[in-house]
Structure 1
Amino acid sequence: MGQRRRKMKQKKHIDADWAGLPDNILEVIFERLNLMDCMSISDVCKSWRRVVAQELSDCQGHGFPWLLMSGEKDKRVRTCISILQEQEWEMLLPEAYGRYCWGSYQEWLILVRDLGSYKLDIGLFNPFTRKQVDLPGEWNLNHKMVLSGPPSLENCIFMLIQSDSQTLAFWVPGAQSWLQHKLDGEPFVDGVFSNGSFYLIGNDYNICEIKGANIFAAIKRDDASAPVAFHIERHYHEVTMPDEHENNGVLKYLVESCGELLLVCRFYSTKPDAVLVTHYFEVYSLDFSRMSWKRVESLGDQILFLGKCCSRSVSSSGLGLNVTDRIYFSNDHAVPWWNEWDSEHLVGILNRLGLDNSGTKDWGIFSLGNKNHETLSIQFRGNRDRWGPVWFTAPQWWCCKNFTLT
């Protein structure tokens, strides 16, 4: 009896070889964890970190929202900041030297080189895989690019929104040039791709819809290598707005969120010395059955990241964060159709005008559940004169490799 007890006691003190767990068992475990937990568990040992990075390498769009700071086009090292992780990273990007960062799609950066004479060289670059997608050159007439999906896909549609009219330009892989689609009216202020369609909004609250399938059909009919302008079928929706808003002093963002089309209204001061001082936000969801904007009181599991050419919606539980109803926003310019390369002469304008620049701002955080709009909950850093930074996604597999196990 005493011998049996000794054997049982010995078994209790046997150490488990956690580092030796089979990869398939680790993969099952990691699939059930959020991003923050995966970051933590990958720090256990090198073999676990290897499996985490390998398991997540094919996950498109999964990662941490980061900011790429502006005003660094002539640097080979760009400053990146994660507000959620409170980390700063100097990323070596020689491919981006001499280029402005115009926007992003997930982990892809939209890079622009100003060639002068109103001509632009446009391309997309993935700083984590080093892949590049070169696009045909274009005139400096546009203020935003919208993608239908990852730019590496053959069926991806690229859309440019022109600055001074409702003219759009489309490009698909294999086309020799941008295909122009001309409309009449005031320019669109924002656009997004959702559920197979491009949606655009102007100074009012109505929506223009263009289905992706119609674009491919028109390009195939007209031969993508030949025309400069072509015709596509579009749908114009008059959408009712329950609240009365003036167009002056509001920026509009369209955001795709879990299949919903959201309109985020950012209200700011129109005082001459305010530059861009944000007061509060309101969020609406498009009711397609009634074609009306419905006020959103809670974002649920989603948190929003707003910026010119780079807005997105992210699951807070998927990230592993205990936050709700948050809107993270960058210091966008009040004029939506301006670009960084058009506005370098404005750098330092507050000092030249003799205005106080001590309350400088680059980004902020707004709580949608804050009923008292007089006290906007904001955290800021940086120079308000500088162009707003760009949101992009730092893939989780890359973060696991670079921010764990020193």
Structure 2
Amino acid sequence: MGSHKKKTKLVKPQEKVKSFVEPWPNLPKQLLNFIGSQYPDLMQSIVFSGVTKSWRAAPKQCSANTLLPWLEISDKDYYQSKTHQEHNFNISFKPGIYWWCCTNRRPWDNVWTHFHGCSHGSIVAGGKDPANYCLLVPGPRNAGRGIPPWDATIPFKFATLSFNPSNNCKILSVMVLTGCSYPLFVVCPPEYPLKWMKETSSLVDPNCSKRQLMSLTNAIGLKGKFYALSLQGTLAVIEEIESKFQVTKLSRSRAVPSVFSKHFTEYLIESNGEILLIFLISEQSSRKVDKVEVFKLQMDDLSWLKVDNLGDRTLFAGTKCCMSVTASQLGCRSNCVYFNEHTTNTWRLYEMESATIFPCFDYYGCQTKSPAWEEQIVENNFL
């Protein structure tokens, strides 16, 4: 028999993981300048991220009584598999008034390259070590609070705070959503020694046609409670009872857009003491937003009421954050929603009164990536 040479497969050298820097918060530059120079307290109004969901068509064999459609996290909501995303903090505050970086001499204090949550003016940040996180707290000097080491076997999807830490640090709790059923969420209470408390639940999502256990994807903290949305649009109220965090109420109604769509992005935000839910709706393709809807949470029965008028408020929805401002204070148009269309990286304006989407323009009448408006002249300095 003749000898056969075994073919060897050429293995290319392992490529280095590509990294790219993304500015955060990705709000209009003029708004960021305004926050930094005039009203740093507006940072209290920024909440972190939106969750992009896609609709799955109903199987024909399903009965008419089944709660449909089925929702799932869209692929574009995840980081690209071959990239390493870092962030550059995008606000320049007036020196000596508002600081956001830990600059202690310990080497891990000042390398926060990832932001995992923002609420009530504080940011949950992490560095290159996935086990280390820190809570960056606003103050006249560098401020921060350690967070216990994280178990790398548990997904760290999203973080939010239960209350404004500037009022009383003793009531501050950090909640992390895992996107899983077990554990459903993880909480770090403010009591020392700081530790993570894994909370599990056997609750079946009432809006899940497959009768699966609940998984949470979005949340906001307000007045000591957490209000979290499940993957299928069920609202869960989470409270601390006898030193344990647990789900105390579930909504009967489903938090979804009023129109059928292929994709939608949801934002939970507190505005003037209310919890608002913003939907950027893509009816045909995820590359274009066709409709915008705003709902308000009715606290008495946890139902969602569609809002047709925001009054003097203006909402900003970026790809990684959302914010509510008083329009007359900022000088921008009121009763509207500015949103970033991620595929073109340009801002659009949704006018609530006419239910119409318009492009944003700069001072020269050209479509722009950062809308411009006439800033108000502020006579009193509130800093």
The aligned residue for residue 271 of structure 2 is 257
| Structure 2: runs of 5+ lacking an equivalent | 1-30, 50-78, 94-99, 104-108, 203-212, 362-366, 371-377
Aligned to 2:295: 284
Secondary structure of the structure 1 residue equivalent to 2:126: strand
- Count of residues paired in the alignment: 275
TM-score normalized with structure 2 length: 0.58
Partner of 1:181: 199
Aligned equivalents of 1:249, 1:74: Cα separation in 2:
26
Checking the alignment, whether the CA contact within 8 Å between 1:366 and 1:377 is kept in structure 2 is no
Could you say if the C-alpha distance between residues 80 and 323 of structure 1 is closer, same or farther in structure 2, counting changes exceeding 3 Å?
same
Q: d(CA) in 1 for partners of 2:48 and 2:251?
A: 34
One of 150, 154, 159 as aligned partner of 2:164: 150
Q: How does 1:1-400 map to 2 (within 5 A)?
A: 61=42, 78-80=89-91, 96-97=110-111, 99-115=113-129, 119-126=130-137, 129-138=141-150, 139=152, 141-151=155-165, 153-165=169-181, 167-173=184-190, 174-184=192-202, 185-211=213-239, 213-214=240-241, 217-219=242-244, 232-239=246-253, 244-246=258-260, 248-268=262-282, 271=285, 276-307=287-318, 310-317=321-328, 319-330=329-340, 360-361=344-345, 364-373=348-357, 375=358, 381=369
Judging changes above 3 Å, is the alpha-carbon distance between structure 1 residues 168 and 247 closer, same or farther for their aligned structure 2 residues?
farther
Give the aligned CA root-mean-square deviation in angstroms. Answer: 4.3
Structure with max Cα Rg = 1
Q: Percent identity?
A: 16
Give the partner amino acid of 1:133: R
How far apart are 1:381 and its partner, in Å?
A: 2.9
Secondary structure at the aligned position of 2:276 is classed as strand
C-alpha separation between the residues in 1 aligned to 2:47 and 2:197? 32
Deviation at 1:107, TM superposition (A): 3.8
Q: What is the distance in 2 between the residues matched to 1:97 and 1:63?
A: 23
Secondary structure in structure 2 of the residue aligned to 1:142: coil
Deviations 1:264-312 (A, max 9, x none): 11112664xx5x4322210011233454321101111222233577434
Q: Any gaps of 5 or more consecutive residues in structure 1?
A: 1-35, 44-52, 83-90, 220-230, 333-358, 383-395, 402-406
Q: Who is 2:26 aligned against?
A: none
**Structure-2 change in CA distance of 1:309 and 1:62 (3 Å):** closer
Residues 287, 236 of structure 1: CA spacing in aligned structure 2 closer, same or farther, 3 A cutoff? same
- The structure, 1 or 2, with the larger RCO (C-alpha pairs under 8 Å, 6+ apart) is 1
Residues 97 and 381 of structure 1, relative CA distance in 2, 3 Å threshold: farther
Distance 2:257 2:156 in 1: 30
* Secondary structure in structure 1 of the residue aligned to 2:170: coil
Q: Secondary structure at the match of 1:154?
A: helix
Give the structure with the larger helix fraction.
Answer: 1
